[in-house]
């Protein structure tokens, strides 16, 4: 079964500083990888996704992520954070149904809580 690890429960970054949130996955085949953001009291919004092709993917709000197969990682980055980026960030992996096709829901990591210092 697939799994996702986000090793940092909390991260504090100063406004304007760069950000990297870590995500490691475990999956036997090529994964479908996602980053979602959850602002306080809100639902989840898709930031970016990786299915295949270029391993550096661009998302919304100035975020990007890089897929590294050798490290089983899909880290999220932003060159300069804004106070509005304070939120919970979830990495997720999509897996195929054991019957050979289709989405088996998403498996989420436990999230990283991002705090922005003024």
Partner 1 sequence: DTAVSQTPKYLVTQMGNDKSIKCEQNLGHDTMYWYKQDSKKFLKIMFSYNNKELIINETVPNRFSPKSPDKAHLNLHINSLELGDSAVYFCASSQDLLSYEQYFGPGTRLTVT
Cβ-count burial 12-35 (b if 16+ within 10 Å, e if not): ebeeeeebebbbbbebeeebbbbb
| Rounded least distance, CB 107 to partner 1, Å | 8
Q: Is 60 in the site for partner 1 (CB under 8 A)?
A: no
Please work out the total of residues on this chain that contact partner 1, with binding judged by CB under 8 A. Answer: 25
Among 8, 64, 66, 104, binds partner 1 (CB under 8 A): 104
Q: With binding defined as CB under 8 A, does residue 11 bind partner 1?
A: no
Both tokens assigned to 53: 């092709």
Does 8 bind partner 1 (CB under 8 A)? Our answer is no
Positions touching partner 1 (CB under 8 A) are: 32, 34, 36, 38, 42-46, 49, 51, 88, 90, 94, 97, 101-108, 110-111
């Amino acid at each position: 079964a697939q799994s996702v690890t986000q090793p940092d429960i909390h991260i504090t970054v100063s406004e304007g500083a760069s950000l990297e949130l870590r995500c490691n996955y475990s999956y036997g085949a090529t994964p479908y990888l996602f980053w979602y953001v959850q602002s306080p009291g809100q639902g989840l919004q898709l930031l970016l996704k990786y299915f295949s092709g270029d391993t550096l993917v661009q998302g919304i709000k100035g975020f990007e992520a890089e897929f590294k197969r050798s490290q089983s990682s899909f880290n999220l980055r932003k060159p300069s954070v804004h106070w509005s980026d304070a939120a919970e960030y979830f990495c997720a992996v999509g897996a195929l149904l054991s019957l050979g096709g289709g989405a088996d829901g998403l498996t989420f990591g436990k999230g990283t809580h991002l705090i922005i210092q003024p």
